[in-house]
Amino acid sequence: MGSRVIVLGAGVAGHTASMLLKKMLGRKHEVVVVSPAANYQWIPSNIWVGVGRMKPEQVIFSLEPVYRRQGIEFHQAAARILHPEGTEGSGPCVDIEYTDPARRGETARLGYDYLVNATGPKLNFGAIEGLGPDKFTQSVCTYHHAAMAWEKLKEVIAQLEKGNRQRIVIGTGHPMATCQGAGFEYALNVAFELRQRGLSDLAQITWLTNEYEVGDFGMGGAFVKKGGYVTSTKIFTESILAEYGIGWIKRAGVRKVEKDSIEYETLDGAIHTIGFDFAMLIPSFAGVGIQARDASGADITPELFLPNGLMKVDADYTPKPYDQWKVEDWPSTYRTPRFGNIFAAGIAFAPPHPISRPFESPNGTKIFPTPPRTGMPSGVIGKIVAQNIADSIRKGRESLEHRASMGRMGAACIVSSGFGLFHGMAATMTVNPIVPDWEKYPQWGRDIENTVGEPGLAGHWLKHFMHYMFMYKAKGNFGWSLIPE
Ligand SMILES: Cc1cc2nc3c(=O)[nH]c(=O)nc-3n(C[C@H](O)[C@H](O)[C@H](O)COP(=O)(O)OP(=O)(O)OC[C@H]3O[C@@H](n4cnc5c(N)ncnc54)[C@H](O)[C@@H]3O)c2cc1C
């Protein structure tokens, strides 16, 4: 009899996992995707939606026809409750609630042999008063938010064109938010757009960040090779900000936002405010709030999830002082310790500890970035989870040969800083490994030959090319599986 694998989520990690699972398992086994949105979105290109250079339709496509063609069963629904021990008369299953307009609010219970939780982040705007597109600040975390940000930015441009000064604040909207890369990229793109229109002089752009030094990016900064020299990401990032005319405020934890001002605390404990006409602040991330029950119906959510809702996997979560954490504490199979048939891929897995050094203000506010959750590791993790599940099903025994620790894998990040075939720019950065390994690389923490940073037009072309390449791959077009994650 065939096996049934359920993948929760159709983002970078979940979509990669489900497409590969179906390809590897064929018709004999079932692959089921549960995801609340009808569309796939290529999130990195939301930056360009947020400056009006791409339309939302260019970064999304409908999932249903792709899954139908691949033979994957698709439920447009949100997972609500896991029953990993099964319920009376049934094996392991998950309760889902439909978001599909035709069945909205209906519920169903789906049984599984293996389950992949790839539900990504809950964008936790609610953690900070006044934060988010429903309140006073913008976001580029979804294509819909990015389109709203562009509408607001157009108003700012109109004011600048009339000769009115405008204050623009871009950065992190929570003392422990991550995703600095995306915020930084958006700040550069906004600066570029204003410069192209000859409006830079009237605009004051500020990068407001919880990083101890700019260029930390939640990975404790890095030393990168650039033009044959080794430099820190602090210098690299500061020089780019300066070149784009962007000021910066670092070590800042946003406390609340009002209609036109942001209150934040700095690491020295002082409270400040900064006024704005336009603000784009990245929220903190949490898990999406899936619950778990045992066979008797008792709540076992804390056994599967950390209090922030992210799923526990094969990491060492024992609390330890920052200097005692090791690369080996990071997970490599992303399987939950309690249930051998549940995995978490992408942002849904709980990292064991921060990579950036933690800091606390005299008022007890923790102000530092949590680990970065970028697309490349999310895709790679989705892939190895799919490979291990497919191997286990095909061999009829547990197989965990494929591994991908963030302490062993590198990641590439291209921060675009302008759009256009000849005017576009990008800072291309690769780090290897993502989590520094000071034992293996005592001088720089990383393999300096493979940790590089270069600004230039070529990076922009590459980022543009990646948009089309990853959209092509995600649609399951001819040869899709040959394109790397
Ligand atoms: C503006 C921006 C720009 C970025 N740029 C880059 C970049 O240039 N390079 C890079 O490497 N990374 C970038 N990232 C990060 C990258 O987008 C993430 O690493 C990646 O999307 C994470 O993949 P994921 O599958 O874990 O989560 P997601 O892609 O967020 O997918 C989560 C999926 O789960 C679904 N879901 C949610 N709740 C439920 C539920 N209850 N049940 C079932 N499904 C659910 C969602 O609908 C979605 O389909 C950027 C992020 C942002 C916000």
Could you state, in chain order, the average pLDDT of each consecutive group of 10 residues for the chain (485 residues)? Answer: 96 98 97 98 95 96 97 98 94 98 96 98 98 98 98 98 98 96 94 95 98 95 82 90 96 98 98 98 98 97 97 97 94 97 98 96 98 92 98 97 92 75 72 89 87 71 79 87 81
Q: List the one residue out of 332, 317, 318, 353 whose CA is nearest residue 407.
A: 332
Looking at residue 467, what is its pLDDT? 85
| pLDDT in the model for residue 411 | 80
- Which class for 342: exposed (0-12), middle (13-18), buried (19 or more C-beta within 10 A)? buried
What gap in Å lies between CA 393 and CA 423, rounded to an integer? Answer: 51
Q: Ligand 1 pocket test: which of 16, 18, 43 has the largest number of ligand atoms within 8 Å of its C-beta?
A: 43
Which residue is listed with tokens 């290109």?
45
> Is 13's C-beta closer than 6 angstroms to any atom of ligand 1?
yes
Residue bearing the CA closest to ligand 1, atom 11: 375
Give the model's pLDDT for residue 458. 67
- Domains of the chain in sequence order: 4-123+285-395 (3.50.50.100)
Rounded CA-CA distance 202/351 in Å is 42
Beta-bridge partners for 280: 138, 170
Angle separating helix axes 233-243 and 180-196, nearest 10 degrees: 30
Q: Does 44 sit behind a cis peptide bond, omega within 30 degrees of 0 on the bond before it?
A: no
Q: How many CB atoms lie within 10 A of CB 137?
A: 26
Q: Is the CB of 10 under 6 A from ligand 1?
A: yes
List the beta bridge partners of residue 129.
256
> Hey, which residues does 260 pair with through a beta bridge?
none
**pLDDT tens digit string along 388-401?**
999 999 999 999 99
How many angstroms separate the CA atoms of 17 and 337, rounded? 20
> Cα(420) to centroid of ligand 1, in Å?
26
Residue 178 Cβ inside 6 Å of ligand 1? The answer reads no
Torsion, Cα 150 151 156 161, to 10 degrees, reads: 100
User: Under a CB-based contact definition with an 8 Å cutoff, are residues 300 and 291 in contact?
Assistant: no
303-351 pLDDT, tens digit per residue, is 999 999 999 999 999 999 999 999 999 999 999 999 999 999 999 999 9
Q: What is the pLDDT of residue 448?
A: 87
DSSP symbols for 419-437: -STTT--EEEEEESSSS--
Give the CA distances from residue 209 to residues 213, 372, 405, in Å, rounded to whole numbers and listed in that order: 9, 14, 27
Quick one: which of 344, 355, 341 has its CA closest to 310? 344
With tokens 């992303």, the residue in question is 334
Per-residue confidence (pLDDT) for residue 227, from 0 to 100: 74
Ligand 1 center from residue 43 Cα (angstroms): 7
Distance CA 435, CA 327 (A): 7
Burial of 318 from C-beta contacts in 10 A (0-12 / 13-18 / 19+): exposed
Nearest one of 124, 54, 149 to 282, comparing CA atoms? 124
Cβ–ligand 1 distance for 428 under 6 Å, the answer: no
The reported pLDDT for the residue numbered 456 is 67
Query: Letter for the amino acid at 132?
Result: G
Closest Cα to atom 37 of ligand 1: 119
Which residue's structure tokens are 């889902």?
96
The residue assigned the tokens 């008792």 is 298
The pLDDT, as a whole number, for residue 194 is 96
pLDDT at 472: 85
Look up residue 75 and give its DSSP letter: E
